[in-house]
Chains A and B, each alone.
Chain A
Amino acid sequence: MLKVVHYINQFFANIGGEEMAHVPAELREGVVGPGLAFQQAFGGEAEIVATIVCGDSYFNENLEKAKTEIIEMVKKQNPDLFIAGPAFNAGRYGVACGTIAQAVKEELGIPVLTGMYVENPGADMFKNSLYIVSTKNSAAGMKDAVKKMAPLALKLANKENIGASAEEGYMPNGVRKNFFDQERGSKRAVNMLLNKLSGKEYVTEFPMPDFDRVAPNPAVKDVRKATIALVTSGGIVPKGNPDHIESSSASKYGKYDIEGVMDLTEETFATAHGGYDPVYANIDPDRVLPVDVLRDLEKEGKIGKLHRYFYTTVGNGTAVKNAKGFAEKFAQELKADGVDAVILTST
Chain B
Amino acid sequence: MVKEIERAGIPVVHMCTVVPISLTVGANRIVPTIAIPHPLGNPALTMAEEKVIRRALVERALKALETEVSEQTVFEK
What CA separation (Å) do A292 and B69 show in the bound complex? 28
Q: Are A341 and B12 neighbours in the complex by a CB distance under 8 Å?
A: yes
Check if A199 is an interface residue, CB within 8 A of chain B: no
Note all chain B residues with C-beta closer than 8 A to A231.
Answer: 1, 5, 12
What CA separation (Å) do A108 and B33 show in the bound complex? 32
Query: Which of A69-77, A137-145, A168-176, A216-224 touches B?
Result: A216-224
Known contacts A61-B36, A328-B4, A344-B12: does B29 contact A292 (CB below 8 Å)? no
Note all chain B residues with C-beta closer than 8 A to A121.
Answer: 21, 24-25
Q: Mark B54-77, 1 if CB is under 8 A from A, else 0.
A: 110111011001111111010000
The secondary structure that dominates the B interface is mixed
Most chain A CB within a 10 A radius of its CB, from B24, B33, B39: B39
Interface residues of A in 307-347 (CB under 8 A from B): 313, 315, 323-324, 326-328, 331-332, 334-335, 339-347
Most chain A CB within a 10 A radius of its CB, from B21, B28, B43, B73: B21
Q: Are B38 and A280 neighbours in the complex by a CB distance under 8 Å?
A: yes
Given A125-B20, A313-B1, A342-B12, 9 more A-B residue pairs with CB atoms under 8 Å apart are A92-B18, A92-B36, A95-B21, A124-B24, A212-B26, A287-B38, A287-B54, A347-B16, A347-B36
Interface residues of B in 33-55 (CB under 8 A from A): 33, 35-41, 43, 47, 50-51, 54-55
Known contacts A286-B41, A303-B62, A341-B12: does B35 contact A61 (CB below 8 Å)? yes
Q: Mark A65-84, 1 if CB is under 8 A from B, else 0.
A: 00000000000000000000
What CA separation (Å) do A331 and B11 show in the bound complex? 11
> Smallest CB–CB gap between A114 and chain B, Å?
16
Q: Mark B6-25, 1 if CB is under 8 A from A, else 0.
A: 11111111111110111011
Known contacts A95-B21, A334-B8, A341-B12: does B38 contact A296 (CB below 8 Å)? no
Interface residues of A (CB under 8 A from B): 18, 21, 57, 60-61, 91-92, 95, 99, 121, 124-125, 212-223, 226, 228, 231, 233-234, 276-281, 283-284, 286-290, 292-294, 296-297, 302-303, 313, 315, 323-324, 326-328, 331-332, 334-335, 339-347
Contact among B1, B24, B35 for A327, CB-based, below 8 A = B1
Q: Are A217 and B20 neighbours in the complex by a CB distance under 8 Å?
A: no
Known contacts A95-B20, A121-B25, A343-B58: does B40 contact A331 (CB below 8 Å)? no
Most chain B CB within a 10 A radius of its CB, from A284, A303, A324, A326: A284
> Smallest CB–CB gap between B7 and chain A, Å?
5
Q: Are B58 and A293 neighbours in the complex by a CB distance under 8 Å?
A: yes
Q: Are A341 and B15 neighbours in the complex by a CB distance under 8 Å?
A: no
Contact among B11, B21, B41, B58 for A294, CB-based, below 8 A = B58
Q: Are A342 and B11 neighbours in the complex by a CB distance under 8 Å?
A: yes
Contact among B7, B21, B39, B47 for A345, CB-based, below 8 A = B39
Q: Are A343 and B13 neighbours in the complex by a CB distance under 8 Å?
A: yes
Q: Are B36 and A214 neighbours in the complex by a CB distance under 8 Å?
A: no
Q: Are A57 and B37 neighbours in the complex by a CB distance under 8 Å?
A: yes
Q: Are B4 and A346 neighbours in the complex by a CB distance under 8 Å?
A: no
